[in-house]
Amino acid sequence: MRSQGATQPAQSARPADGEAPLPELYADLGQANIQALWTQAEDLMPRSPAPRAVPWLWRWDTVLALAGRAGQAVPIGRGGERRALALANPGLAGLPFATGTLWGAIQYLNPRESAPAHRHSSAAIRFVLQGQGVWTTVDGEACPMARGDLVLTPSMTWHEHHSGSDEPMAWFDGLDLPLVNALDASFFEPAAAGYLDAGRAAPARSRSAALYAHPGLVPSAAPATGRHSPLLVYRREHTARALAEMAEATGQGDAELRFADPVHGRDALPTMRCAMRRLAAGTRTPTTRSVGSSIIVVFAGRGTSVIDGTAFRWGPGDVLAVPSWCAVDHEPAETAELFVLSDAPVLEALRLDRTEVLNQPQAVTGAWSGG
Ligand code: 1HN
């Protein structure tokens, strides 16, 4: 039971013999909208993070089939202006959030469809799982999207999606929306009709990639804003090459790269970390737990992850939720690539970050069998 709003004083608040009875005090506190600390339940300040979200897995086949049905049945334009299916963590009592701080969804665009421009204070990322020939316009810059590409739509940037493709397109959307809502910092604005010229075809490359996607080289003139990465699209060809060369150079079965602001070196967005982790067949990662939550999108490969004792078997397109402070380890059955979205930059900025490496592989006490 949550403590907020509790009206019953705790046992220890009873008056000792000879003391004045307290009910009157509690009644008067309640009248004044004041609560005594000693009447609160212990979960007011847990000894370690106690997220309501639970470890979970959404299977790609299930989500894609439902997205395809939504694509047939529901036009874009219904609330939110996007055909996005939110991955709703069953621990969050019906909220459409994957973890306590992160929104995760699969968005589906039919051939030649468009999703209109809007902007919001929540930042978003798109990580493409299927298709090509779609572009997202971010503050007027057309960004091509194909499988394995990462596109940023930072806070308050205008964005719209267009398909020039003959195939449906599906991508993973990640937003910091639950966090922004918890901070009461949400703003949303639809664009005026005809706001942007969408262009007629997916561009070969974005303007920001022309300026910022060359290794170790950045324009001498400062970018317009330091609030987020000036590079808005991270193409699959670069990610694939970087991961392969890192794995080869280090000889490590576990290689992880972070999508960084090429000018400042910090995370591409101030509220969310995006990373790509390559796990070679035969690797078993150490068991770790971190403060802050993450969403893992399986880009390629198969394997098993154990999250707080529950074993989840995964394959391409599956999405996992890892709530705060849950122990996690991964064991790929074949070489795998995982896209990892987390709220780590927020925890680090607030100096609340903490990671523990647990020595023992964790005991498996359950296996996932739903989703
Ligand atoms: C949004 O703007 C997009 O632009 C996707 O594609 C998902 C979920 C909640 C609020 C805004 C998009 C969203 C969203």
The per-residue pLDDT for range 269-279, each reduced to its tens digit, is: 999 999 999 99
- 118 CA closest ligand 1 atom index: 2
Q: Whose CA is nearest to atom 3 of ligand 1?
A: 82
pLDDT reading at 129 higher than 50: yes
Considering only CA atoms, which of 290, 297, 302, 312 is closest in space to residue 332?
302
Q: Whose CA is nearest to atom 12 of ligand 1?
A: 82
Considering only CA atoms, which of 199, 175, 173 is closest in space to residue 272?
175
Q: Where residue 222 falls among pLDDT bands split at 50, 70, 90?
A: confident
- 159 CA closest ligand 1 atom index: 4
Q: Where residue 17 falls among pLDDT bands split at 50, 70, 90?
A: low
pLDDT reading at 10 higher than 60: no
| Rounded Cα distance, 204 and 209, in Å | 10
Instruction: Report phi then psi at 169, rounded to 5.
Output: -125, 140
What Rg, from alpha-carbon coordinates, does the chain have? 23
| Residue 171 Ramachandran class (φ > 0 left, ψ -120 to 50 alpha, else beta) | beta
The pLDDT value given to residue 203: 83
Say if residues 180 and 122 touch (Cβ distance below 8 Å): yes
- Going from the Cα of 91 to the center of ligand 1, the distance in angstroms, rounded, reads 22
The pLDDT value given to residue 366: 87
pTM of the model as a whole: 0.92
pLDDT reading at 215 higher than 80: yes
Q: Which residues contact 223 (CB under 8 A, 6 or more apart)?
A: 212, 230, 263
Angle ∠(221,226,229) on CA atoms, nearest 5? 90
Ligand 1: which of 87, 150, 158, 175 to mutate, most ligand atoms within 8 Å of CB?
A: 175
